[in-house]
Chains A and B, each alone.
Chain A
């Protein structure tokens, strides 16, 4: 239950109780976004910097809405027009920001481990908004919340992460979170896009064929084919990928049960997911986006103050 302290860096190091506490806190916060005045005064006076070293629309906007709805003051630093492009190091950038008396940093960075590196060097709370191919904990949490909303509990449910698992920080956060909450997890994709020894290393089942995954699963979380990370020839062509691994309506119609469909976005329609699946009746893709704001509000609430609050919240959930 210890070890998390002031930051949210990954789901791997959280306990099931801590994760459940975040989800339980997010639940009542959803309603705030439905009010006429979409704002509570909880974080009045807190200053948060959104430090994005990588392009992001959905995650950055979602964090910004969460911060504003909690009444925090948020500043966005996009790296293209910051001093980082002049050669400043990550720590110098953050220390300079900290010298302006900030309370929290939300960081997205292309290097795995960047969030932890920063968290160990500054006083402010650090929230990982995606670091390299490591983790994207708030995305994992919002996926858990979206599925829990539908199922009531994740215990014994089967979730398959489809596609580019190798490069996916979303996949890693999902695998850790789902397993901690009692779900069975599988991955499905071309072997070149799955981590070596995924079975043992991550404790998941591996499917080489999407048909087998559809047969097995209660939900598919379809990962984006990360074209910008494709430095080597992982797949022959996008067309072939779609033909072999694309989630299509025809494939879903053969499923023995109604499959829930998630996708962290942004979607490559016609590559990993077909439009009639993405927009179909079992798609939870827009629920994920809605839940993302509530999850981030919950994390802001639970972290604020720089004390080991998440650990404490984990035990409080048992009351």
Chain B
């Protein structure tokens, strides 16, 4: 994925990786480290919490906790790669695009996801995909990362509630 990001952004000159809270942040940090190792150049990374931009706050019951949004650099004119763990409905990415627009006007925004499970409800597609997983509607795909969950695994389970 790191190679593909470098390829697609034609070098790392104006690259910024922005992870979506929460698992996307760890994935963005790992991708940034890999790119830094290869390109011998620092890659700024940020975190985006999209809670306040969700389109379903009216219906989700208890208010979800709000996390931190931290963008280390001005994103005007940059090539911003949004990083998330799972692409499903696309609504999280829609919220992330709205939030980024409040911070500036990047030259280009790309989407990188570890898992594309299909089922998008919006015209949103990933540019860089770790793995496409085809699962039935209604099942849940959870990415676990060592930093938060103790191990690196992807868990597919037939669950009732909808994932991210």
Contacts and interface: CB of A to CB of B under 8 A. Distances in A.
A24 interface: yes
Contacts of A312: 61-63
Nearest to B66: A28
A40 B102 contact: yes
B49 interface: yes
Interface in B97-152: 98-99, 102-104
A183 B49 CA distance: 32
Given A28-B49, A42-B57, A37 B62 contact: no
Interface stretch (A116-124, A131-139, A301-309): A301-309
A311 to B, nearest CB: 8
Given A28-B69, A31-B69, A42-B52, A309 B63 contact: yes
A316 B102 contact: no
What is the size category of the interface that chain B forms with chain A?
20 to 34
A189 to B, nearest CB: 38
Given A28-B68, A313-B62, A39 B102 contact: yes
Contacts of A36: 103-104
Nearest to A314: B62
Nearest to A37: B102
B98 A301 contact: no
B99 to A, nearest CB: 8
Contacts of A28: 49, 66-69
B58 A305 contact: yes
B73 interface: no
Given A41-B52, A305-B58, A312-B61, A29 B102 contact: no
A39 B61 CA distance: 23
A319 B66 contact: no
A28 B99 CA distance: 14
Contacts of A319: 65
Name the residue in A29, A31, A40, A309 with the highest tally of chain B Cβ atoms < 10 Å from its Cβ: A40
B76 to A, nearest CB: 10
Contacts of B49: 28
A301 B69 CA distance: 17
Interface in A212-231: none
Contact of A301 (B58, B61, B66, B68): B66
Contacts of B65: 24-25, 313, 316-317, 319
A35 interface: yes
Interface of A: 24-25, 27-29, 31-32, 35-37, 39-42, 301-302, 304-305, 307, 309, 312-313, 315-317, 319
Given A31-B68, A40-B99, 15 more contacts: A24-B65, A25-B63, A28-B49, A28-B66, A28-B67, A28-B68, A31-B69, A32-B52, A35-B103, A37-B102, A40-B52, A305-B58, A307-B61, A312-B63, A316-B63
12 contacts: A24-B65, A28-B69, A29-B66, A31-B68, A35-B102, A37-B103, A40-B53, A41-B98, A42-B52, A304-B57, A304-B63, A313-B62
